[in-house]
Amino acid sequence: MIERIGRRTVDAVKAVGRFGHFVSDLGRALPDVATWGGLTVVQMRRVGVDSLPVALFIAAFTGVVLALQASYTFTGTVPLYFVGTLVGKTMMLELGPVLAGLALAGRVGASMAAELGTMKVTEQVDALETLAYDPQSFLVIPRVLAGTLMFPVIVALAILVGIATGWLASLVLLDLSTQEFVKGLKLFYRFKDTWFGLFKSATFGCTITLVGCMVGLGTRGGAEGVGRSTTRAVVYSAVLLLVLDAFWALVLLR
């Protein structure tokens, strides 16, 4: 038992050390703009195209459900225009970034871990090195930058879609007028609601892609190793994303 705890502790410390080493390698590769510059644009397109449908789909249904649940909670106690407040605040501050982030951890993080893991076990990463490319410049920086820059864009669109479907649900299902919904939406709105959600999603994007790349490049073994890395990337990303979510709430909302 004690031995197992000791082993786990050593493994955890090693993992933190590997992460630190990985991030410092990333910093060292940053000046190599000639390599990662063009590739980042390609990755931004890929991350955007891959992620947008699933993020918008989730946001659309979340908006409807939020409106209906708010109405269920408020009826008879709180004026119904607060439905707009709840839909807007919740989408911007929490559900937009977090639900999209979790969905994208599965979509983007897993796909990066599988792609880089396959490259690793088929010696494509070694081949890059022998061609005098730094895998950090060629593979990691473009993906991490793409995730960091594109996630806020995707989440912004998801928030808009969520609010729009919440508004439609209020009009059609709750007999709320547009004026009432917008009144609720504006009621406690602060600009911080917008930047907080988008800033948070940028950190989610950075974390998900960083974890996907690190786990992918650490792959050992054949197809089984790639499968293990893919699962690991999704689990680690999802856990870190929720920890980060709590961290930013603690730091920025108090």
Partner 1 sequence: MIQFADLYKAFDGKPVLAGVTLDVHDGETMVIIGYSGSGKSVALKHVVGLLHPDAGDVIVDGRPVAALDRAGLYGLRREIGFVFQFAALFDSMSVADNVALGLRRRGLAEDEIAERIREALALVDLTGAEERMPAELSGGMRKRVGIARAIALRPRYLLYDEPTTGLDPVTSAVMDQLMVRTREHLGVTGIVVTHDMRSAYTVGDRIAMLYEGRIRQVGPVAEIQQTGDPVVRQFIEGRPA
What are the residues binding partner 1 (CB under 8 A)? 28, 118-119, 122-124, 126-127, 129-134
Q: Are 177 and 218 in contact (CB under 8 A)?
A: no
- In terms of CB distance, is 31 or 53 closer to partner 1? 31
Taking the complex as a whole, the smallest distance from the CB of residue 112 to partner 1 amounts, in Å, to 13
- In terms of CB distance, is 134 or 193 closer to partner 1? 134
Three-class SS of residue 242?
Answer: helix
- In terms of CB distance, is 43 or 237 closer to partner 1? 43
Structure token pair of residue 254: 């108090």
Q: How far apart are CA 236 and CA 230, in angstroms?
A: 10
CA distances 75 to 60, 78, 87, 206, Å, are 23, 6, 15, 41
Taking the complex as a whole, the smallest distance from the CB of residue 129 to partner 1 amounts, in Å, to 6
Taking the complex as a whole, the smallest distance from the CB of residue 133 to partner 1 amounts, in Å, to 6
Q: CB-based contacts of 21: which residues, under 8 Å, 6+ apart?
A: none
Taking the complex as a whole, the smallest distance from the CB of residue 123 to partner 1 amounts, in Å, to 4
- In terms of CB distance, is 5 or 132 closer to partner 1? 132
- In terms of CB distance, is 123 or 224 closer to partner 1? 123
- In terms of CB distance, is 139 or 161 closer to partner 1? 139
Q: Are 60 and 161 in contact (CB under 8 A)?
A: yes
What HEC string does 191-202 produce?
HHHHHHHHHHHH
Q: How far apart are CA 225 and CA 236, in angstroms?
A: 16
Q: How far apart are CA 21 and CA 41, in angstroms?
A: 26
Taking the complex as a whole, the smallest distance from the CB of residue 124 to partner 1 amounts, in Å, to 5
C-alpha dihedral (91, 92, 96, 97), degrees to nearest 10 = -150
Q: How far apart are CA 204 and CA 37, in angstroms?
A: 22
Q: Are 157 and 56 in contact (CB under 8 A)?
A: yes
- In terms of CB distance, is 133 or 248 closer to partner 1? 133
Taking the complex as a whole, the smallest distance from the CB of residue 24 to partner 1 amounts, in Å, to 12
Taking the complex as a whole, the smallest distance from the CB of residue 184 to partner 1 amounts, in Å, to 48
